[in-house]
Amino acid sequence: MTGSKKDTSSNPGTNPDSRTGMPGLKEPIPPEREWPPKREPYDVKPRVIIKLRDSESFSGGGFTAADLFMNESVDTPGFASGIRFKPHFRPGLLKCVRRRFEDTRRDDIKGGWPDLEAYHSVEVEDPEQRAWLLDGLKDSDNVKTSYLHPGPVEPPQVYADDDPLSDKQTYLDKAPWGINARYAWTVPGGEGKHLRLADVEWGWNLDHEDLEGIDFTKIRSNNQKALAHGTKVLGVIAARDNKKHCVGITPNLPSIVTSGQWDSANNCVSADAVLDAICELDVGDVLLLEAQTEMFGHKNIPLEAEPAVWDLVWIATYLGVVVVAAAGNGDVDLDTVTDDDGMQIFNRNVPDYWCDSGAIIVGCAYQDNGAWQPFNTGSLGSRIDCFASGEGVVTISSDYWGDSRDEWSNSFSATSAATAIVAGACVAVQSILDEQGKPRLSSYKMREYLSNPQYNTKSAGHPADLIGVMPDLKEIIARL
């Protein structure tokens, strides 16, 4: 067994029954819709992002590259005055974060509160001008961090599978096969009726019949290229118990925020989507980062590798939001990822390690003769806290156009599936605590419960395989 299974693309205009010749045939795909859909290349404008050492050193809402390098030993050609930086985040969102969580702020923040007002960005389409700017920013005394925004990293392409839907969602089962969600349903609150979850990724089909009754808060636009991925994620967590398809880990989750990474067809800024989501959450709610990024020479690594996202995740966890993030499907040893300052940002074994954002980082695994093995595309490393099933996960899905309301899949995979499973476990734990009248857990405390090898499910090669442990809700609930 290799642990490598992928969704098989099929014509998404029909449901599983119609593909097998059984009753339930739908109207055929209109002739103007070709399958597979034509995938246009992304026309993403190159954006340079900086974080000033002092946000008050350049006030007034913007400044040029010439202003930035005025008193420094950088040759400033004529075009420098035309490169104008603007605040990267909308002021209203920054005020929202401070206002919403004012009561939780303290004076003992290690390293100081991240200065989000210090982030500025500019689009520079000319390659020579962009190269000049990035080179000058490296040595600027005014700049703490600078980087070229990595742009969109597309989720795995997933569509409804041809095979008949299994009636066994093994990730719900008792340990060591699943996370023991079925047991959690027997505990008051375990079905997730007290919480709000925010999902940050590309797109969703929120009209699926297994998502009926959920109060959705929709932020930013859907990207049609990934409706199936987001729909599958929400199905794993919150598919309704309505006798139609599968059942989510927390089928009574009342409220979900969908914060898309796309503003338009050529403007994908992940940090904005994270900040938008934070503004919609209360202490103890769950923020799910179902997205990857490309930074520091590595593809498909955790989204928080982007400095602006890391700052926001740190703020979210400090303020009481539980953050669950995918380790990524880049087959990367995260301990080797080094930023521009030479810091191994995901290596917990580094002396004086300070890069812990507080997020729960999730890897993935598959079962081989009853033993959990690292999934062949999943990342590993000392920063990974938990794993869950990354193979053959049964959930709902969507067609490419978002027209279908009853698509499903039995092959959701890799860290996308595993991270959704762990997020569902977090929702169940918090909801049970609410029902018991106890305080919700912080992201750090939740991580302690979910990653403890004494009572959670270990992989066959634990701890050497560096994928953490799989949460066992029955054992965790007993210790709350």
pLDDT one-digit tens code per residue, 306-333: 999 999 999 999 889 999 999 999 999 9
- The band of 92, judged by pLDDT with boundaries at 50, 70 and 90, is confident
- Position 12 pLDDT exceeds 60: no
> Per the structure block, which two tokens stand in for 290?
């179902």
Distance CA 364, CA 387 (A): 5
Which pLDDT does position 105 carry in this prediction? 56
How far is 249 from 184, CA to CA, in rounded Å?
A: 9
Measure Cα distances from 327 to 237, 346, 378, 447 in Å.
18, 10, 7, 15
pLDDT tens column, 269-278:
899 999 999 9
pLDDT tens for residues 418-455? 999 999 999 999 999 999 999 999 999 999 999 999 99
> What is the model's pLDDT at position 34?
54
Comparison of pLDDT for 431 and 61, the residue scoring more = 431
Q: List the single range of 8-17, 202-211, 245-254, 389-398 with lowest mean pLDDT.
A: 8-17
- pLDDT for 101 equals 60
More confident residue, 162 or 298: 298
What's the confidence (pLDDT) of residue 469? Answer: 98
Q: Which residue has the higher pLDDT, 267 or 302?
A: 302
Label residue 248 by pLDDT band (50, 70, 90): very high
Which range, of 91-105, 187-201, 345-359, 449-463, averages the lowest pLDDT?
91-105
Pairing of strands 469-470, 360-368: unpaired
- The sign of the dihedral angle between the CA atoms of 265, 270, 272, 275 is positive
Average pLDDT over residues 13-37: 38
Q: Tell me what the pLDDT averaged over the chain comes to.
A: 85
If you search the block for the tokens 């602006």, which residue do you land on? Answer: 308
- Do residues 294 and 153 lie in contact, with contact meaning Cβ atoms separated by under 8 Å? yes
3-state SS, residue 476? helix
pLDDT score at 102: 64
DSSP per position, 90-140: -HHHHHHHHHHTGGG--S--TT----GGGEEEEE---HHHHHHHHHHHHT-
Q: Find tokens 């004076």 and name the residue.
A: 107
pTM: 0.86
Q: How far is it, in rounded angstroms, from Cα 410 to Cα 405?
A: 16
Give residue 111's pLDDT.
Answer: 56
How many Å apart are CA 441 and CA 190, to the nearest integer? 15
Q: Distance between CA atoms of 62 and 52, rounded to whole angstroms?
A: 12
